[in-house]
Chain A
Amino acid sequence: MNCAEIKLKLQELTDGRLSVKDIGVVKKHIKTCPQCRKEYKFLKFVSKSVSSLNYPKLSDGFNAKVMSSLGFSAKPALIKRPLIWVAAFASAMMLCLISVTAVFLVIKTGAGGSLDIITDLSKAMVFLSVGFSKLVMYAKQAIIILMSLKTVILAFLDLTKILALTAMFSVFCAGLVGLLSTKRQNAAVSLI
C-alpha cells in the first residue's frame, strides 16, 4: 500500500472500522513512514479534542418553556426551597416559644405560685397564638414580595403541613405541662 491508500485507511483506523488484518499493515507502515505517522497523530488529536468539547449551557427556564409549549407544567425544583426554610424557621421559633412557656409554667407552679394551671395555659396559648399569627403574617409578606403568585400557593401547601405538625406538637406540650402541674398540685394537697 502506498501513502495515499494508507491515509484513507488511517481514517478508518481512527474510527475503529479497520479489519484486524489491515490494522497490522497500517501500523507497520506508520512505524516506517513519518508522514503517515504525523497524519495519524493529527487524526487522533482531532478525535480526542472534539470528544472533550464541553456542552454549551441551556438557559435555566428551558424545561419550563418546552413543557409549557406542550401544555404541561415543569417541576418547580428550585423555587420551593427558600419557602421550606422560611417554614422551618417559623416552626423552630414556635417550638422555642412553647418550650419556654412550658418550663416557665412548671417552675411557677412548682415554686408554690398560682395553681390555676388552666388559666396559665390559656394565657400562654393566647400569647403563642398572637405571636405565631404575627410570625406567619411576616413570613407571608416576605413570601409575597419574593415569589410569584403560583410559587406562593405551592409553598403555602408545604407551610400548611408544617403548621399542622406544629399545632399537634403544641397540643402535646400543653397536655404534658398540664399533667405535670396536676401531679404537683396533688402532691401539694397530700402534703397539706
Chain B
Amino acid sequence: MEFMSNEDLKLVNLCLKGDASCFEKLLNKYKLPVFNLIYRLIKNPADAEDLTQETFIRVFKKLDKYDPKYPILTWFFKIAHNLTIDFLRAKKKPTVSIDDIDRPIELIDKSPSVERLAEINFNKTALYSTLDEIDPLYREVLILRHKEEMDYEEISKILNIPLGTVKIRLFRARKVLKEKLEITGIVNL
C-alpha cells in the first residue's frame, strides 16, 4: 500500500493552518485525474467540472478528517466517486444496477469470437469509443486500474466494495468491452 507523499502531507498540514495557497497547489496537482474520473463516468464536461469543483470543496471542508496513512488521491477519488454516483442516481442515468454489475461471473467460452478477432488489428480510437458506450461503473474501474494505476486494495477503498468484487467488476468490464468490440466488427485483435 502506497503511503501519502511527504510533499502532500506538508501541503495538507499547511492548509489546515490556513494557508490557502497550499490548497491551490493540491488543486493543481490533482484536479485533472479527479476531473478525468468524473468525466469518464458521466461524459458531460460541464457537469463533470461542477462535480470536480464540488469534490475539492468537500475535500477542503473535510481535510482535518483525512487519514495520512493512504495516498491523498485515493481519498479524492473516493469523494469524487460518491458525488458522481449520487449525481447519476439523481439523474437516473445508470443503465445497469450495481448488483447486476457485480453478480457472479458465468464463464461462457467465447472461442468462435476470439477466433474471429484473431486476424484483425485493434486501434485505440475504436476502443475509446467503445469504452464510452459501456456502463460507467465498468469504465470507472478500468480507468482506476489502468490510467491511475491503482491496485485492487485502493480501488476497493475508493469504490467501497470488497476486494473480490473489484476483481469481478474488472473481469466483467473487460469482457463487456471485448464483446462490444466484437459486435461492432470495427476493431479486431
Contacts and interface: CB of A to CB of B under 8 A. Distances in A.
Question: Do these two chains interact?
Answer: yes
B27 interface: yes
A76 B36 CA distance: 25
B76 interface: no
Nearest to B107: A4
Interface residues of B, number: 47
Interface residues of A, number: 36
Given A63-B24, A70-B20, A35 B152 contact: no
Contacts of B21: 75
22 contacts: A3-B109, A15-B151, A15-B170, A35-B114, A35-B115, A38-B118, A38-B189, A41-B189, A42-B174, A45-B189, A46-B146, A46-B174, A51-B147, A55-B32, A55-B35, A56-B39, A58-B35, A62-B49, A66-B53, A67-B27, A69-B53, A75-B24
Interface string B91-126: 000000000000000010101001101100010100
Interface string A50-77: 1111011011001101110110101100
Contacts of B122: 42, 45, 49
- 7 smallest CB-CB distances across A and B, nearest first, come from A50-B146, A72-B20, A55-B32, A51-B146, A55-B36, A49-B124, A49-B127
Contacts of A11: 167, 170-171, 174
Contacts of A56: 35-36, 39, 45, 48
Interface of A: 3-4, 7-8, 11, 15, 17, 34-35, 38-39, 41-43, 45-47, 49-53, 55-56, 58-59, 62-63, 65-67, 69-70, 72, 74-75
A46 B147 CA distance: 11
B53 A65 contact: yes
A29 to B, nearest CB: 15
B28 interface: yes
B131 A39 contact: no
Given A45-B122, A47-B145, A55-B32, 18 more contacts: A3-B109, A11-B167, A15-B152, A34-B118, A35-B115, A38-B118, A45-B127, A46-B177, A50-B146, A56-B36, A58-B35, A63-B24, A63-B27, A70-B20, A70-B57, A72-B20, A72-B24, A75-B24
A25 B175 CA distance: 23
A42 B189 contact: yes
Contacts of B178: 42
A66 B142 contact: no
Contact of A74 (B24, B107, B111, B124): B24
B118 A8 contact: no
